Amino acid sequence: MPREPVKLPNRVETLSILAADGRVDTDLEPALDPADLRRLYRTMLTCRRFDERALTLQRQGRLGTYGPSKGQEAASLGVAYALEKDDWLVPTFRETAGLLWRGWPVHTWLLYWGGFEAGNVPPDGVRDLPVSVPIASQCQYGMGLAWGCKLRGAGRVCATFCGDGGTSEGDFHEALNFAGVFNLPLVMVVQNNHWAISVPRSRQTASQTIAQKAIAYGMDGLQVDGNDILAMIVATREAVEKARTGGGPTLIEAVTYRLSMHTTADDPKKYRKDDEVKEWEPRDPLLRFRAYLQKKGLLDEPGEREIDAEIAAEIEQAVRQYEQYRQDPAEFVQYMYAELTPELQAQQAELRAYLERKHAPAPAPVS
């Protein structure tokens, strides 16, 4: 006993199936329904097209600050695919692809980035939380959702996302620690896109991988190629299956890259080299997935044209709908409580009077 290494019962492993060069590890390749594969591709592409469109809208002043998810689509999409409808998903703002899969319409995303609270409301029957802005804060209610799932005993699980930057926050730690102690059905997915605004992954934590942080909580960690949708699906399925059957939480590190700016308010040229971006471009999850489908004979040129046209129409329609959206300007008082307090009723009246005055003639001067 005097001086011995501690034996660590938890596993920390890496996983990759579909390499950037198109090679597939056929031992690990999941057998997916071709229709699903096509739908997954369509969703990934919708996300990419939406991203491009949102950037344009932002530059035209038709949208607020926008945070792209370019290059990170596979990570959330793979997770979303591996969940069942009644499982929970807790996103950050880089999980657009996964949420599109879950049924969130493009229109809602436009509302969100367009500055309307309505952008936070999932469609009926969709069990996802809206975007969380305070980094890693959502880990806590993600953990709480998993806790609720466990106490309900119906085999539901919760997948929760945060970024590599988010792992530095206390919330990340506390949530994972609770998940470990209560053996919660939580799949914690860290999108390690290598940057937290201008702070590189290497300056975010001295831990060599994010996945190994699992050891601090007595759980398994898996470092997955996050640009490889097959690996993301396999990893999540494994974690979900474990969670569903009482095996507890898993930490998944999805290694990916933020190909675009942090948000439209950001200029990445200030802090990162173009070379690094160039290095990652060929590893783009969309290119890789497309090549995979082509090789499998699931995608040909006419098929692609058709998908392109459908997506373009869908996005166009969403933009129209978004731009026609109107909101009662006094609405923001309405949802503070189930029943407005007397003081808020008075303030709402004040507000309505003010709004009417705004459209009425100016009061007479003091005599």
Partner 1 sequence: MAQLTMVKALNLALAEAMRENPNVLVLGQDVGLDEGVFRVTEGLLQEFGPDRCIDTPLAEAAIVGGGIGLAFTGFLPVCELQFDGFSFQAFHQVENHVRRFRNRTRGRYTCPLVIRMPYGGGIRAVEHHSEAPEATYAHLAGLKVVIPSGPRNARALLRAAILDPDPVIFFEPKAVYRAFREEVPDAPETMPIGKGVVARPGKDVTLIAYGAMLRVALDAAEELADEHDVDAEVLDLLSVSPLDGELINESVRRTGRAVVVHEAPRHCGVGAEIVARIVEGSLLYLEAPVKRVTGYDTIIPYFQNELTYLPDPARVVAAALETVRF
Ligand X SMILES: Cc1ncc(C[n+]2csc(CCOP(=O)(O)OP(=O)(O)O)c2C)c(N)n1
Q: E-strand spans in 136-241?
A: 158-163, 186-192, 195-196, 199-200, 220-225
Query: Environment class of residue 34 by beta-carbon count within 10 Å: exposed (0-12), middle (13-18) or buried (19+)?
Result: exposed
Distance CA 249, CA 4 (A): 29
Number of residues that bind a second copy (CB under 8 A): 48
Name the DSSP letter for residue 363. Answer: P
Among residues 66 and 292, whose Cβ is nearest to Mg ion? 66
Q: Sign of the C-alpha dihedral, residues 46, 49, 51, 53?
A: negative
- The answer to whether the beta carbons of residues 74 and 284 sit under 8 Å apart is no
Enumerate residues 226-285 that contact a second copy by CB under 8 A.
248
Strands 220-225, 250-255: pairing is parallel
What character string, x for contact with a second copy (CB under 8 A) and - otherwise, covers 30-69? ----------------------------------------
Q: Binding segment for a second copy among 147-155, 215-223, 276-284, 297-305 (CB under 8 A)?
A: 215-223
Distance CA 94, CA 277 (A): 18
Pick what 213 binds: Mg ion, a second copy, partner 1, none; C-beta below 5 to 8 Å, kind-dependent: a second copy
When asked if residue 249 is in the footprint of partner 1 (CB under 8 A), the reply is no
User: Using CB distances below 5 to 8 A depending on partner kind, what does residue 134 bind out of ligand X, a second copy, Mg ion, none?
Assistant: ligand X
Q: How far is CA 113 from the centre of its chain?
A: 14
Nearer to Mg ion, 12 or 135 (CB): 135
Catalytic: which of 49, 237, 244, 262? 262
Residue 207: name its binding partner from partner 1, a second copy, Mg ion, none (Cβ under 5 to 8 Å by kind): a second copy
Total chain residues near Mg ion (CB under 5 A): 5
- Of 96-104, 242-250, 252-260, 262-270, the window that binds partner 1 (rule: CB under 8 A) is 262-270
* Interaction mask 137-176, a second copy, x per CB under 8 A: ------------------------------xxxxxxxx--
Please give the torsion angle defined by the CA atoms of residues 46, 52, 54 and 59, in that order, rounded to the nearest 10 degrees.
-170
Number of neighbours of residue 220 by Cβ within 10 angstroms: 22
- Kindly identify the residues of this chain, within the stretch 233-292, that bind ligand X according to CB under 6 A: 258, 262
* Sequence letter at residue 255: V
Report the catalytic residues. 258, 262, 271
Give me the residues that bind ligand X (CB under 6 A), please: 94, 133-135, 162-166, 191, 193, 195-197, 258, 262
